[in-house]
Amino acid sequence: MSLADWFRTFCSSIQVQDGGTISNRYRSITRRLNSDFWTTTSDEAHSLYVGSYGRNSATQGFSDLDMLFQLPYSLYERYNAYASNGQSALLQSVKTSIEKTYRTTSIKADGQVILVPFDDGITFEVVPAFANKDDSFTYPDANDGGRWRTTNPKPEIAAIRTRNAACNGNLVPLCRMMRAWKRTWEVPIGGLLVDTLAYQFIETWPHRDKSYLYYDFMCRDFFRFMADQDKTQEFWKAPGSGQYVYGKGLFQWKATRCYNLSLEAIAHENATPKQEWSAKQKWREIFGNSYPN
């Protein structure tokens, strides 16, 4: 098996294997909410995958799936007129609707979302929202007495999709591989920040038009890119939307560690004779057991 095959196998193993289950749940929730809040039983209208699943950067074994459901603006006017915490009342109304379909599920409203847990470990986080004229969305936050917040996922999704296409489909696998690294090393970094840094990095990476044969270099160079991020920086700007993405801790040290491990892996690959087993062990140290042995 060649180096390209190693990374091809790795990327395939961490890709989400849906089998239709996620789509069926998404459509079921959408149909119920459309039935109760719109004059339609459509299982597609007014819903949008957001978060890592919407950006196509989620990996196999993920636990939270974010979906946004657009509500009629008249409901915003109604709940905004409440004397106190209309946001909480709105969340409870949407929760009650979903419970009509999933009666035995322990659904709960949690601050900004309705949590719909399933037995396979995946929890749908449903964000009720109202469309704004600029294509962003206003959504409720019931914490601390209630307020309205704004999110803008559509341009983020579009930006990732566009850049991924422009770099021979390499951006999305990079985002997924770095999620495997994040889990293996317990890195204090959010998924959107992983995607944001990968998006910035790959724009000027000289081998962005290549494929799996260059993935060892891509990982090496991205670890270096992350390690070089300013440790005092508090936020980065998300692709497309420009929304602030705040850091969760210092990830640079672990990026430096894995940059050095990647150098060792590549040295094993280029040794004479080639030290395949040793190279794989270094990549497995970085990415965990999903990397082929």
Using the predicted structure, report yes or no on whether residue 186 has a pLDDT greater than 90: yes
According to the model, what pLDDT value does residue 76 have? 97
* 97 occurs within a structural domain: yes
pLDDT-derived band at 103 (thresholds 50, 70, 90) equals confident
Of 93, 116, 151, the position where a domain reaches its end is 151
- The rounded mean pLDDT for the chain is 96
Distances (CA, A) of 178 to 75, 142, 150, 189, 260: 40, 33, 28, 10, 16
Give the pTM. Answer: 0.94
* 11 occurs within a structural domain: no
What are the tens digits of pLDDT across the range 239-268?
999 999 999 999 999 999 999 999 999 999
Residues 6+ apart with CB under 8 A from 218: 170, 174, 202, 205, 207
Per the structure, the complete domain to which residue 45 belongs is given by: 16-151
Using the predicted structure, report yes or no on whether residue 1 has a pLDDT greater than 80: no
What are the tens digits of pLDDT across the range 105-161?
799 998 999 999 999 899 999 999 999 999 999 999 999 999 999 999 999 999 999
CATH code for the domain of 34: 3.30.460.90
Residues 28 and 83 reside in one and the same domain:
yes
What are the tens digits of pLDDT across the range 192-201?
999 999 999 9
